[in-house]
Amino acid sequence: MAVTLPDPFSTVTGLQEETRTHAGYFWDNRHRDRPDEAVVQQTLFGAGFFEDATGRAAVPEGHAMLFTHAEASSYGYPPGVTEPYRLRYVSFRLAGLRGWFERLRGEFGAVVRMPVDGEAAAVLQEIGRRFNARTFRDRFQETELLHQLLVALYREQVAASRSLDPIEYGHHYLRDHFRSPVNLKGVAARSGVSREHFIREFGRRYGEPPGELLRRLRLEHAHRMLRATQLPVQDVALACGFARRQQLLPRLPPTLRHHPRRLAQSLIAPRQRKAHWSDRLDNRLTGSAAWRPYRTDDHPHPQSRAADPRHAKGKRLRS
């Protein structure tokens, strides 16, 4: 029996540019029945409004509202306003892009920045051109362009936080560049605040110091690389942002401190492989009963070693 797999491809269901001039333009998303359909609606001129459980917010020029159908929200033309509200929207099936859409809204809210001459606006125009001319090469390209739109929106929010919220910008910068040789002084300077202020406010907001986040991101990435590649620890350390191998080694579990071949051997049953000196050392440090001091059956005590003619000075055994 064939297994039905989920469809990961997103498709555009509508894209149009409109101009609204009165409060009759109003939509309540609770009355729509397509929960898998999302909308990105950009304001080209004037302003619209968006309202959800957090309250009502204006959506002026250079911004966009993000919402899904069948959710508890509404939007439209603001009452008491006289200037026209010009907009461009795209509605699309979320499918495999749901994670991106929810992450974007979860971090930055339902009303986000979207400059008219920005990267996201250019991608939206390209989607509109291909949608209206029916020139999408295939569903792969259609999904790819919608993905580019969400990525561009996310990037623009991070860039805007540099002036609006330096601490948030620094948080995103660390996550984006932890594999590079960055330091907290440089990140704080890039964010426009002092190192001390950045460290204090960062820890207060995110629950861990920025230096700890940087080490954790690098270590997690190193674990993944050591398990997935045949690179030596030195190369992995540099690829993860550590300045040298010694900064990574103490933070690794014993099975990952050696060349990947050693890790492969550690996955084999103990009786099928030859013990390595590092295994005996680990057992000694952990108090394992499998470890015991080196003593042969012939010489249980060090004193008896001297009586063995094989170890006598100046004597050679005949073969």
Distance CA 287, CA 273 (A): 21
pLDDT for the residue numbered 50: 98
Mean pLDDT of the chain: 84
Average pLDDT over residues 39-68: 97
Q: What angle do CA 274, 280, 286 make, to 5 degrees?
A: 140
Paired sense of beta strands 12-20 and 85-93, if any: antiparallel
For 12-161, the fitting CATH number among 3.40.190.10, 2.40.30.170, 2.60.120.280, 1.10.3720.10 is: 2.60.120.280
The residue that leads in pLDDT, 290 or 244, is: 244
Secondary structure element (H or E) that encloses residue 265, with its range = helix 260-266
Percent of the chain with pLDDT over 90: 65
CA nearest neighbour of 263 among 220, 286, 231, 234: 231
In single-letter form, the type of residue at position 172 comes to: H
pLDDT digits (tens, 9 = 90+) for 158-200: 999 888 899 999 999 999 999 998 999 999 999 999 999 999 9
3-state secondary structure of 213: helix
The answer to which of 69-78, 119-128, 152-161, 250-259 has the lowest mean pLDDT is: 250-259
